[in-house]
Amino acid sequence: MQVAVSQAHARTVRLPPAVEAPIHWPSAIAGLVLAIAVVVGVSWLASTRQSEHRLTVRAAPIVPTQPEPAAAAGQAAQAPAPTVAPTPIPPPAQAASASAADRLKVANTRGLGVNLRARAGEQAARLKTLPEGTLLDLVGPDERADGSVWKNVREPGGSEGWVSASFVSAAGR
């Protein structure tokens, strides 16, 4: 049995030309803002934090000037204008001769160095990282914090702070 299909019944279906979907601008703008926020946030987290490098600012004392004599006998003397004198910054105190017991060096850090902190404890602000082998002067008594012993030291640049006793040894070793 044979079936004949006439070509008159064979139809090709024609689709209308493809139309691009319109852009949903509120979603596009929200996505752009989100992408910018992510880039800025990651950049901020990866940057060094300037708040850890605190400066101490002291007010300068006001020193009054000497009043000038009146130019004429009939004129009253005016009150002197105060002037501000800068306070000199003293150099870091240096021990005349540090004994071997008062000298330490950074050790046991596997080359990573140790953090010099503003006060004893792991949560204290980090002042700087001292490389392995840095010589330190012991400047005060030890303190216990966060379950560790902390040494009060001065590094060669003059900065004073605290380092964990686990990462220092006597300078002679």
Say if 132 falls within a structural domain.
yes
Say if 158 falls within a structural domain.
yes
Cα gap 124→102, rounded to integer Å: 24
Say if 134 falls within a structural domain.
yes
168 against 16, higher pLDDT = 168
Say if 76 falls within a structural domain.
no
What burial letters (b/e) apply to 40-50, b meaning 16+ CB within 10 Å? eeeeeeeeeee
Query: Would you list the DSSP string of the chain?
Result: ------TTT-----PPPP-PPPP-HHHHHHHHHHHHHHHHHHHHHHSPPGGGS-----PPPEEEPPPPPPSSTTSPPPPPPEEEPPPPPPPPP--SS--GGGEEEE-SSTTS-EEEESSSSTTSPEEEEEPTT-EEEE-S--EEETTEEEEEEE-TTS-EEEEEGGGEEETT-
Q: How many domains does the chain have?
A: 1
Predicted confidence band of residue 102 (pLDDT cuts 50, 70, 90): confident
Write out the residue range of the structural domain in which residue 125 sits: 100-168
Share of the chain above pLDDT 90, in %: 42
The torsion defined by the Cα of 87, 126, 150 and 139, in degrees rounded to 10, comes to: -20
Predicted confidence band of residue 119 (pLDDT cuts 50, 70, 90): very high
CATH number of residue 147's parent domain: 2.30.30.40
Say if 173 falls within a structural domain.
no
What tens digit of pLDDT does each residue of 28-81 get? 999 999 999 999 988 887 775 555 445 555 666 666 666 555 544 455 556 667
Those residues whose C-beta lies under 8 Å from the C-beta of residue 129, and which sit 6 or more positions away, are: 113, 114, 115, 116
Please say whether the dihedral angle defined by the alpha carbons of residues 54, 55, 56 and 58, taken in this order, is positive or negative: negative
pLDDT of residue 96: 47
pLDDT of residue 29: 94
Name the average pLDDT for the chain.
78
Say if 56 falls within a structural domain.
no
